[in-house]
Amino acid sequence: MRKRTPATAAKPAARQPTGEAPDRSPNPAAPVRIRRAAVSDIPQITELDERVTRIAKPDYWRDVFYRYGSRRQEERFFLVAEHDQGAPAAPLLGFIVGEVRAWEFGSEPCGWVFAFSVDPKARQQYIGERLFGAISEMFRAAGIRTMRTMVARDNQLHLAFFRSEGMMAGHYIQLEKELD
Residues that bind ligand COA (CB under 6 A): 52-53, 115-118, 123-129, 157-158, 160-161, 164
Residue (28 or 88) nearer to ligand COA, CB: 28
Least CB distance to ligand COA at residue 157 (A): 5
d(CA 65, CA 1): 36
Least CB distance to ligand COA at residue 180 (A): 28
Q: Are 34 and 80 in contact (CB under 8 A)?
A: yes
> Phi and psi of 22, rounded to 5°?
-65, 155
Least CB distance to ligand COA at residue 89 (A): 22
The pairing of strands 32-36 and 92-101 is unpaired
Residue (108 or 147) nearer to ligand COA, CB: 147
Least CB distance to ligand COA at residue 121 (A): 10
Residue (121 or 140) nearer to ligand COA, CB: 121
> Phi and psi of 95, rounded to 5°?
-150, 160
Q: What angle do CA 155, 116, 109 make, to 5 degrees?
A: 100
Q: Which helix (H) or strand (E) holds 97?
A: strand 92-101
Least CB distance to ligand COA at residue 176 (A): 18
> Of all residues in this chain, which one has the CB nearest to ligand COA in the complex?
128
d(CA 176, CA 22): 38
